Chains A and B, each alone.
Chain A
Amino acid sequence: MKKIFIAIVAVGFITAGFAQDKGSVLIKNGTVLTVTKGTLTDTDVLIKDGKIAQVGKGIAAPQGVRVIDATGLFVMPGIIDAHSHIALDQINEGTNAITPEVYTGDALNPFQLSIYRALAGGCTVSHALHGSANSIGGQSQTIKHRWGTYDANSLKMEGAPRTIKFALGENPTGHGRRDGTQPQSRMGVEFVIRKAFNEAKEYSAKWDAYNKAKLVKGFRGAPPAYSLRLETLADILSGKIILHCHSYRADEIQMLLKVCKDFGVTRVVFQHTNEGFKVAPEIAAAGAMASVFADWWQYKLEVYYSTAYNATILTRNGVVTSINSDSPDLIRHLYHEAGKTQKYGGLTDDEALALITINPAKQLGVENRIGSIENGKDGDIAIFKNHPLSIYGVPQYTLVDGIVRFDREKDAGDQRIMVDPKQTVDATMYETGHAYDFCMSGTEWLFEEVENNKK
């Protein structure tokens, strides 16, 4: 007990103030799990100015570069979570079935403790997704866990492709039922998405015509009405945005694949995908990908027929698969979640690690930047005591862009950056486990009415 208390009392090592900085570090003598190039024992990894500069044996430390002795430790690429809602002040703009114009990058909160706690689980990058309250939710942002920054925008992973959240099934239909609007069924979900895509096509056509006409000398005319909503949808159709779709049931997965095919949308990642195992051949054939829970089931009807073997079945059928969290707790132990695929289907170490590194990197379109330990990639690294797929794996250091953002030994317990001057000192928040769908948070007000009616 003392240790925990002392850690709080100790003067905190506050990592603030170098958000955009890139660091240089030499990690000596570890077992390096590159994920893409095998496992290298007694190997050094040199990170220079935020990038992996060299992987090999006996690398000499450049002057002034911090050396981390990783003897007996395991060095892996920073863990990537393709589905999370941490670091967000708002998750759902759930008032309208179609809200592609909204963007989670507008609601980033760099002070949420979840960011640090994710780092303490080796997780360096997450996909700050819009929620699943509506069929076409918001654009989402891939973030780096640059704990210590005061600038919300500096969490954004520069250069990461644009993404957007779609949602099928119970969540959007439940919203429709409460509001008395479409969709209230899976039929309606397909319809509102097709309708939105068709409107976007018309919108693009109008603008194309206008822009073309403008080129003719002496043209006079009114421009079509501007709409950020339709503009964004048009960007999906033209392939500028990766589509991430909350989905559970096999039929709705196939439905979206067909819609995307009809509209020429090729970059599709299914989220949750609990029944993805049933349509794995179809997902693979379409070149779509899947981001799944390791073992969640039972919390609602559409996950009732799940199996913990989902990730294995998808992988064996050739689908690029990742394990995600959708939870501020799971994001802290994705290494353990990935390990479960060894129990449920016997994936190899590299296959299991790929589920939380290079595969989610592919799903976010950043596989050239992160997801493995290779020269030229970002210096995002997690260093474990014991193998990360072992239950005894404990993250010791987590680096983002070559900067140590988590240090198990040195960090103070109290990691708050901004302290609420009005909070009572022993304010407590008790939450039992994770028995609800974080995808729906921010929409409680929609349920209040229902609750009140019950009473």
Chain B
Amino acid sequence: MKTTMKNTKSIYGIFVALICLGVMFAEAQSPKAKNGTFALTNATIETVTRGTIANGTVIISNGKITAVGTNIQVPAGAEVINCNGQKIYPGMIDTGSKIGLLEIGQIPQATDERESGDIIPQMRALTAINPNATAIPVTRIAGVTTTLTLPEGGLLPGTAALVNLHGYTPDQMYAGFEGVVLNFPNTGRRGFGDRRTEDELKKASEKALATLNDAWDKAIQYHKLDSATGGKGVGYYPEMQAMVPVIRGERALLIEVNMQKDIQAALKWVKDKKVKKVVFMGVSEGWREAENIAKANIPVLAGPVIAIPNRDYDRYDAQYANPGIMRKAGVKVAIRSNEDGNGNYRNLPYHAGFAVAYGMTKEDALKAITIVPAEILGVSDKMGSIEVGKSANLFVCDGDIFETKTQVSHVFIEGWKMPMQSRQTLLYEEFLKREPGLNKN
């Protein structure tokens, strides 16, 4: 074989470039998602609810999973994706996000997660979710297909919405759950800038609790009058109208609560008020109250897991170990990333992975970002596992999804095959070997 040195070099160069670019750039990308019938073959399938299937096939058609297993007939006309050596997981669900509401931090014009007012449950996150947010493709190509987008602010800052990370309108994205957020009165300090005295802290939380109780009592009154008059007798009162489904147990109350004392108080409050559908969020000191949370049968959306302990005397790994401890005590635990500040909801599997490294079982941790949040939010009929009849929210990757280096190669959201690109990958393509380089001419 006679090849010139130059040729060898350039061939080698292309080879290296391909390796560097990785699987995702091996084929030309269309920025559009693709619908149709897909057959994902030869894969290791992590169904989550029905064990692991080796060498299996998943058929996706009309947005649904239509077949899962071995010896599956590939339908005629299906696009076959050979997943040899790859794994298929259900799409991950991050129950702690601001996706679509927060485009750029520190710029008021680019943030919509916070409205004025302390008791404003009628503010709906879904209304303001920007389907073209830059974070959406960044997040979904990591295999996070669905997020709970939360408003933030005062006591009852609004209503959160679960969305799939694909669609051109909020309605197309909506994934079937909305819940009212309650930031439970907090007795702890909120970060290093909080210089209130112990007394001031106590008074502030007492005042907040009184405000909350007043709002709750009014909501009950409104519900009673509304029921008694068949919905005609009471006037326009948007705050209370937003609370009524919570009072009636038709909608969940998502309670953000973290410190031990606050968890205790929230448990008591929920019991006293006989709140019908409750989910705790955050729960960073859940490990201190795990038995009681389990006893109260309240599910939790825990996280961030990769975080520093709340107290200076806490063991360094208190947050890492928190989900595992709660799970062991019998709490239903979903894990959330809550990486609002840095837009890194794509790190959700790492939060679960740290929980595993510090004591949770792998199985529980995987459930905690798939089927468990789906169950907690009442959408497990549609997502959270790879089962026939469910929406085709799933992804293909080259290994254990908790592992940092694992590459996701395909993502399907409601049966749509996602383009595997985001601004971050496009910048990589453009700048890995910039043209022109150092010299323009």
A and B touch in the complex (CB under 8 A): yes
**Residues of A with Cβ closer than 8 Å to B?**
1, 4, 7-8, 113-114, 116-117, 120, 170, 277-278, 280-282, 285, 295-301, 304-309, 312-313, 316, 328-329, 332-333, 336, 339-340, 342-346, 386, 389-394, 413-416, 424, 426-436, 441, 444
Supposing A298-B135, A339-B405, A434-B341 touch, asked if A345 and B188 sit within 8 A by C-beta, the answer is: no
Contact A1 B313 (CB under 8 A): no
> What residues of chain B lie closer than 8 Å to A436, measured between beta carbons?
191, 341
Tell whether B391 is near chain A: CB-to-CB under 8 Å: no
A420 — nearest CB in chain B belongs to which residue? B312
Given A280-B431, A309-B428, A431-B191, A299-B310 contact (CB < 8 Å): no
Given contacts A313-B431, A392-B356, A433-B341, contact A441 B424 (CB under 8 A): no
5 A–B contact pairs at CB < 8 A? A313-B428, A345-B22, A390-B403, A427-B311, A431-B308
Q: Across the interface, do A309 and B432 meet the contact criterion of CB distance under 8 Å? A: yes
Residues of B within 8 A of A312 (CB): 20, 428, 432
Taking the nearest CB of chain B, how far is it from the CB of A375, in angstroms?
31
Cα(A25)–Cα(B434), bound, Å: 48
User: Which residues of chain A are near B428, meaning CB under 8 Å?
Assistant: 277, 307, 309, 312-313, 344-345
> Does A393 contact B307, Cβ atoms closer than 8 Å?
no
Q: State which of B104, B307, B329, B357 has its C-beta within 8 Å of the C-beta of A304.
A: B104
Q: How far is the CA of A435 from the CA of B190 in the complex (A)?
A: 12
Residue pair B287, A4 in contact (C-beta under 8 Å): yes
Contact of A391 among B135, B328, B350 (CB under 8 A): B350
Q: How far is the CA of A150 from the CA of B276 in the complex (A)?
A: 53
- What residues of A have a CB within 8 angstroms of the CB of B425 in the complex? 307, 309
Tell me if B41 is interfacial: C-beta within 8 Å of chain A: no
> Does B105 lie at the interface of the complex (its beta carbon under 8 Å from any beta carbon of A)?
yes
Tell me the bound Cα distance from A316 to B437 in angstroms: 13
Are the C-beta atoms of B350 and A336 separated by less than 8 Å?
A: yes
Given A278-B431, A298-B341, A441-B192, 15 further pairs, Cβ under 8 A: A277-B431, A281-B437, A282-B438, A299-B105, A299-B106, A300-B107, A305-B427, A340-B404, A346-B19, A392-B357, A415-B316, A428-B189, A430-B259, A432-B191, A433-B338
Please name all residues of chain B whose beta carbon is closer than 8 Å to the beta carbon of A280 when the two chains form the complex: 431, 434
A428/B187 contact (C-beta < 8 A), A4-B287, A299-B341 known = yes
**Interface check B46, CB cutoff 8 A:** no
A329: which B residues are within 8 A, CB to CB?
306-308
4 closest residue pairs by CB, A with B: A435-B341, A298-B343, A391-B353, A413-B315
Report Cα–Cα, A393/B356, bound state, in Å: 10
Determine if A435 and B342 form an interchain contact, defined as CB atoms under 8 angstroms apart: yes
CA–CA, A265 and B323, complex, Å: 50
Residues from chain B with Cβ under 8 Å of A391 in the complex? 349-350, 353-354, 356-357, 402-404
Contact (Cβ within 8 A) A4 B325 = yes
* Cα of A117 to Cα of B308 in the assembled complex, Å: 9
Q: Is the CB of B434 within 8 A of A343?
A: no
A343 interface neighbour in B313, B340, B405, Cβ under 8 Å: B405
- Whether B407 is near chain A, meaning CB under 8 Å from some CB there, is yes
- Let me know if B260 is at the binding interface, CB within 8 A: yes
Please tell me the number of chain B residues within 8 Å of chain A, measured between CB atoms: 81
Interchain CB contact under 8 A, A433 and B405: no
Residues of B within 8 A of A427 (CB): 311
Q: With both chains docked as a complex, state the minimum distance between the C-beta of A420 and any C-beta of chain B, in angstroms.
A: 9
Contact at B329–A313, with CB atoms within 8 Å?
Answer: no
Q: Is the interface of B mostly helix, strand, loop or mixed?
A: loop
Q: Which of B59-109 contact A (CB under 8 A)?
A: 102-107
Residues in chain B near residue A429, CB distance under 8 A: 188-189, 191-192, 310-312
Chain B nearest CB: distance from A337 CB in Å?
A: 9
Contact B314 A413 (CB under 8 A): yes
The chain B residue with its CB closest to the CB of A285 is B438
> Which residues in B have their C-beta under 8 angstroms from that of A390?
403-404
Dominant SS among interface residues on chain A: loop
CA distance A414 to B311 in the complex (A): 10
A299 touches B432 (CB 8 A): no
Q: Are B310 and A308 in contact (CB under 8 A)?
A: no
Cβ of B226 within 8 Å of any chain A Cβ, yes or no, is no
B339: interface (CB < 8 Å): yes
The answer, yes or no, to whether B317 is at the interface (CB within 8 Å) is yes
Chain B residues, Cβ within 8 Å of A392: 353, 356-357, 402-403
A295 engages B406 (CB within 8 Å):
no
Determine how close the nearest CB of chain B comes to the CB of A1; give it in whole angstroms.
5
Chain B residues lying within 8 Å of A415, measured Cβ to Cβ, are 313, 316
| Docked CA distance A184–B328 (Å) | 54
Query: Chain A residues with Cβ under 8 A from B310's Cβ?
Result: 428-431
Do A301 and B107 form a contact, CB below 8 Å, given A116-B316, A117-B316, A329-B308? yes
B187 surroundings in chain A (CB, below 8 A): 428
B106 contacts A433, C-beta separation under 8 Å: no
Is there an interface contact between B106 and A301, defined as CB atoms closer than 8 Å? yes
Give B198's nearest chain A residue, CB to CB: A424
Q: Which of B192, B313, B343 contacts A297 (CB 8 A)?
A: B343
Among A1, A316, A343, point to the contact of B325 (Cβ < 8 A): A1
Rounded to whole Å, the gap between the CB of B328 and the closest CB of chain A is 8
B432 x A434 contact (CB < 8 A)? no
Q: Report the bound CA distance from A386 to B188 in whole Å.
A: 36
Q: Which residues from A are CB-within-8-Å of B423? A: 305, 307
A313 to B307, CA, bound (A): 28
**CB of B193 within 8 A of chain A?**
yes
A293 to chain B, nearest CB (A): 8
- In the complex, A344→B191 CA distance in Å? 32
| A contact residues around B349 at 8 Å (CB) | 391
Q: A296-B342, A390-B404 are in contact. Are A1 and B290 (CB under 8 A)?
A: yes
**Which residue on chain B has the smallest CB distance to residue A117?**
B316
Contact B284 A430 (CB under 8 A): yes
- Among B288, B403, B407: residue with most chain A CB under 10 A: B403
CA distance A429 to B314 in the complex (A): 11
Residues on A with C-beta less than 8 A from B102 are 298
Q: B405 contacts A389, CB within 8 Å? A: yes
CA–CA, A414 and B407, complex, Å: 39
| Nearest CB of chain A from residue B212's CB, rounded to whole Å | 18
Contact present for B20 and A345 (CB under 8 Å): yes
Chain A nearest CB from B152 CB (Å) reads 10
Chain A residues positioned under 8 Å from B404 (CB to CB): 336, 339-340, 342-343, 389-391
A7 to B309, CA, bound (A): 15
On whether A1 and B188 interact (CB within 8 A), knowing A312-B432, A394-B358, the answer reads: no
Partner of A430, one of B189, B304, B317: B189
What per-residue 1/0 map shows which CB atoms of B11-42 lie under 8 Å from chain A? Answer: 00000000110100000000000000000000
Q: What is the chain A residue whose CB lies nearest that of B402?
A: A391
With A328-B308, A393-B357 as contacts: A428 and B350 at CB distance below 8 Å: no
Q: B347 contacts the other chain (Cβ, under 8 Å)?
A: yes
Contact of B344 with A by CB under 8 A: yes
Task: Scan B283-312; emit 1 where CB is below 8 A from any A CB, else 0.
Answer: 011011010000000000000101110111
Q: Which residues of A contact B190 (CB under 8 A)?
A: 430-431
Output the least CB separation between B26 and chain A (Å): 13
B57 at the interface (CB under 8 A from A): no
Residue of A nearest to B353 (CB): A391
- Inter-chain contact B356/A428, CB cutoff 8 Å: no
Chain A residues in 8 Å Cβ range of B288:
1
Closest to B326 in A: A1
